[in-house]
Amino acid sequence: MSMQALFGQLLVGLINGSFYAMLSLGLAIIFGLLGITNIAQGAFYMLGGFTTWMLFHWAGIGYFWALLLVPVIVGLVGAAIEKTLLRRVYNLDHMYGLLLTFGVMMFIQGMFVYFFATAGRPYSVPPQLSGAYNLGFMYLPKYRGWVVLASIVFCLATWFAIEKTSLGRTLRAATENPTLTRAFGVNVPGLMTVGFGIGVALAGAAGVLAAPIYPVSPLMGADLIIVVFAVVVVGGMGSIMGSIVTSMMLGLLEGLTKVVYPQGSNMVIFVIMFVVLLIRPAGLFGRER
Amino acid sequence: MSQEISQPTLQATSTVTAPATTSAGRDLTLVWYGLGIAALLAAPFFFYPIFLVKVLCFALFACAFNLLLGSCGLLSFGHAAFFGAAGYVAGHAAKEWGLTFEAALICGTAAAAALGLLFGYVSVRRQGLQFAMITLALAQLVYFLAMQLPFTHAEDGLSAIPRGKVLGMFDLNNIFVLYYATAVVFLIGFVAMHRMTNSTFGQLLKAIRDNEPRAVSLGYEVHRYKLMAFVLSATMAGLAGSTKAIAFKIVALTDVHWSTSGSVILMTLLGGLGTLFGPVVGAAVVVSMEDYLADSGLPINAVIGGIFILCILLFRRGIVGEIQHRLGKR
């Protein structure tokens, strides 16, 4: 095997890891605040990719504007769904939240398949980011490097916003004890809408980053969300940093498997999950409850 | 957290299982059984038998799913793995090994039981949403295996499975024979699950569902009981999958896909979670709906997603649950 192929696949692994990180981070925020496992996260990722494509082909709005606009649009769609649908199941068993978001996922994906068919649509790399650097041991396509950087920035910004800002402090308080937070005059239901919006906006942003790499198709997020679930189980629900590190690690491992044993590349994360559950049932960074 | 879900289930069980202890209640259950069997016998004269075979296979599958969710409170998002894997094994046994109908069913069901033991062992220690996520991920592993293993024929599916003969005498290619054979398999599975729900073991599962710490404090090894329930549920899903494989002569990737896991959840939810006949009614409704939608040109998955949403927001008791609730109020 050539070094170029090895590093190329590791880079792809790192990129996938970035997407896992952004999706699982959004999942963690939503779960913490709303107690809902948002299985539609993959559909919002697809929505992000598709909105990027539509902005360009229907309105002539380019990549960088999309990177700014799409998370806002996807976040607003998410907030609307939270306000109209999810709100109604908070006082029920958590199971109903999962099933409701499953219905939302089926609906969004089904509609896109109906109107756009399942074929992938190409989206070109913005000219400022096309081309490649020669690193000596490999060629690094500029755009791929950009994706890894941008997603790390997105994740760190989210981490910073949650841990260090006053909005983050209120969010964390609402996660910890919604009733008491409400007694202090904080609008907790409003915060939940915002939290869900931020969570799905992260998935939407991942969709924008993915558009020039993977063809934009209605089912691009369908299998991804299951991998992200496995990543979350491996990392364990707990720390934000833990889930970012786990995502990157598993992405890299997946890339490595593509070189060593290509047939196993789409299974390796699930196998790792199985093994981790055998050895450490609470996950790598999780705590046993 | 199982407070809310136990609410409708408890109501359901109080009208279905509790009366079984009194003699009048037992009579009532027998009446229901009598009516059910009469309906099973008469159905092929009113509906197309092949359609009924499909309904019965999915009804058994939904009952198996309901067994786990209704009595244990465990929401599995990966039951298609057992359904599909059993189908592949049964189909392979009938086609390549030339086994009889009964032996092929046993092979498929045993495979599902083994897979259930493996998956259950790692998943039952986690609860609620985590359990759902793990089962979904493990089922995806089975899906990718089915895509790559040689005997599943990947995208083409395992096709032209011979139906063979029941007991070596009755040719299953006669659709009436096929229907009645399926009905017998369904009844065996259904009665077995009903018996189990009403046994001491079933009561214990409900105790664990309603208050796990208390069950632990009473000295029960809850994980072992949950694992047993999981394996039983997987086994019954496997019986359903094996029967479907042979009846329809084909097993395809959709049988192990997460959308099949989703559709069995919808059947149970629509029919009435935790009720005895709910999954059967739900399976009939969903199968008819899917058949109808397939020809209508409507976006089938979007419609199903919409029904999912409406069902959860407005109709959580399901059809049978709602009827029982109305009858109970009067």
Residue B21 DSSP label: G
Could you tell me the pLDDT band of residue A20, with boundaries at 50, 70 and 90? very high
Task: Kindly state the average pLDDT of the residues A102-126.
Answer: 90
Residues lower than pLDDT 50 in chain B: 1-21
The minimal CB distance from B302 to the residues A114, A273, A274 is found for A114
Residue A207's closest CA among A13, A39, A44, A26?
A44
Beta-carbon separation of B313 and A31 below 8 A = no
Beta-carbon separation of A107 and B305 below 8 A = yes
Beta-carbon separation of B313 and A89 below 8 A = yes
Among A residues 149-178, those touching chain B with beta carbons less than 8 Å apart: none
Q: Is 0.80 topped by the overall pTM?
A: yes
Sign of CA dihedral B254, B256, B261, B262: negative
Beta-carbon separation of B305 and A274 below 8 A = no
Q: Which site among B3, B6, B122 would you substitute to test the A interface, given the most A Cβ atoms closer than 10 Å to its Cβ?
A: B122
Q: What's the pLDDT score for residue A208?
A: 95
For chain B, say whether A263 makes contact (Cβ under 8 Å). yes
Q: What's the pLDDT score for residue B214?
A: 92
Q: Measure the CA–CA gap between B48 and B68, rounded to whole angstroms.
A: 31
Q: Measure the CA–CA gap between B164 and B12, rounded to whole angstroms.
A: 40
Tokens 């029941």, residue located: B166
* % of chain A exceeding 90 in pLDDT: 48
CB of A244 within 8 A of CB of A25? yes
Residue A207's closest CA among A193, A227, A224?
A224
For chain B, say whether A102 makes contact (Cβ under 8 Å). yes
Q: What's the pLDDT score for residue B23?
A: 61
Residue type, B205: L
Chain A contact set for B303 (CB, 8 A): 110
Tell me the ipTM for this assembly.
0.89
The minimal CB distance from B141 to the residues A92, A99, A271 is found for A271
- By CA distance, what is B76's nearest residue in A? A95
Chain B contact set for A96 (CB, 8 A): 4, 312, 316
Average pLDDT of chain A is: 89
Crossing angle of the two packed helices B128-148 and A94-116, in degrees rounded to 10: 40
Residue A276 backbone dihedrals phi, psi, to 5 degrees: -60, -40
pLDDT digits (tens, 9 = 90+) for A118-151: 888 888 888 888 888 887 777 888 898 899 999 9
Beta-carbon separation of A110 and B304 below 8 A = yes
Indicate if the pLDDT at residue A287 is higher than 80.
Answer: no
User: How far out from the chain centre does Cα A289 lie?
Assistant: 26
For chain A, say whether B313 makes contact (Cβ under 8 Å). yes
Q: What's the pLDDT score for residue B17?
A: 42
CA distance A265 to chain B (A): 10
CB of A123 within 8 A of CB of A53? yes
Chain B contact set for A287 (CB, 8 A): none
- By CA distance, what is A115's nearest residue in B? B299
For chain A, say whether B294 makes contact (Cβ under 8 Å). no
Bigger pLDDT: A288 or B38?
B38
For chain A, say whether B308 makes contact (Cβ under 8 Å). yes
Structure tokens at A98: 């999962």
Residue B218 backbone dihedrals phi, psi, to 5 degrees: -80, 0
For chain B, say whether A266 makes contact (Cβ under 8 Å). yes
Q: Measure the CA–CA gap between B111 and B115, rounded to whole angstroms.
A: 6
Task: Kindly state the average pLDDT of the residues A81-101.
Answer: 90
Among A residues 6-45, those touching chain B with beta carbons less than 8 Å apart: 31, 37
For chain A, say whether B134 makes contact (Cβ under 8 Å). yes
Chain A contact set for B269 (CB, 8 A): 99
pLDDT digits (tens, 9 = 90+) for A208-231: 999 999 889 999 998 899 999 999
The secondary element (H helix, E strand) that includes residue A139 is strand A139-141
- The pairs formed by A4-8 with CB atoms below 8 angstroms and a separation of 24 or more are A4/A137, A4/A138, A4/A139, A5/A259, A6/A259, A7/A137, A7/A138, A8/A138
CA distance B205 to chain A (A): 18
Three-class SS of residue B161? Answer: coil
The secondary element (H helix, E strand) that includes residue B171 is strand B170-171
For chain B, say whether A116 makes contact (Cβ under 8 Å). no
Residue A211's closest CA among A33, A52, A68, A60?
A52
Integer angstrom CA distances of residue B154 from B148, B252, B256: 6, 8, 11
CA angle A120/A121/A127 to nearest 5° reads 135
Task: Kindly state the average pLDDT of the residues A13-18.
Answer: 92
Chain A contact set for B223 (CB, 8 A): none
pLDDT digits (tens, 9 = 90+) for A247-286: 999 999 999 998 888 888 889 999 999 998 888 877 787 7
Structure tokens at A88: 């109604």
Among B residues 191-250, those touching chain A with beta carbons less than 8 Å apart: none
CA distance A159 to chain B (A): 23
Beta-carbon separation of B132 and A95 below 8 A = yes
Beta-carbon separation of A98 and B140 below 8 A = no
Chain A contact set for B8 (CB, 8 A): none
Beta-carbon separation of A96 and B312 below 8 A = yes
Chain B contact set for A224 (CB, 8 A): none
